[in-house]
Amino acid sequence: MNRLIHWLEVHQGSCSWKQLFGVRCPGCGMQTAFIELLKGNLLLSLKTFPALLPMMLMLVFLFIHIVFKLPKGPSILKLLFIFTSSIMMISYLVQLVHH
């Protein structure tokens, strides 16, 4: 696991949005938050990118829905998407105001 974490840390991509406009994008911090989650730093992960866990939940549910064709799957996915994107945008706006 340490080798994977080290590889991810060394190969983090840079943000094109930040390079072009000089401000963070709504997805900035996702890679770092994922690495912190792998390290077991849940609180730091949530602080870095609060939407990571809801996004992961949404992706897991999407996979389950694709495999099992859940009857309420599309409706649940829409709600998860709205919830996740709302967290992303709120945290993004808070970051813009505080920086």
The tokens describing 87, both together, are 């967290």
- Is the pLDDT at 22 greater than 90? The verdict is no
Stretch 91-99: mean pLDDT, rounded?
89
Instruction: Write the secondary structure of the chain as one string of H (helix), E (strand) and C (coil).
Output: CHHHHHHHHHCCCCCHHHHHHCCCCCCCCHHHHHHHHHHCCHHHHHHHCCCHHHHHHHHHHHHHHHHHCCCCHHHHHHHHHHHHHHHHHHHHHHHHHHC
Q: What is the pLDDT of residues 46-78, one digit of tens each?
A: 999 999 999 999 999 999 999 999 999 999 999
The CA distance from 50 to 57, in Å, is 13
The whole-number pLDDT of residue 80 equals 98
Confidence class for position 96, pLDDT limits 50, 70, 90 = confident
Domain ranges of the chain: 2-98
Q: Which amino acid is at 65?
A: H
- Is the pLDDT at 41 greater than 80? The verdict is yes
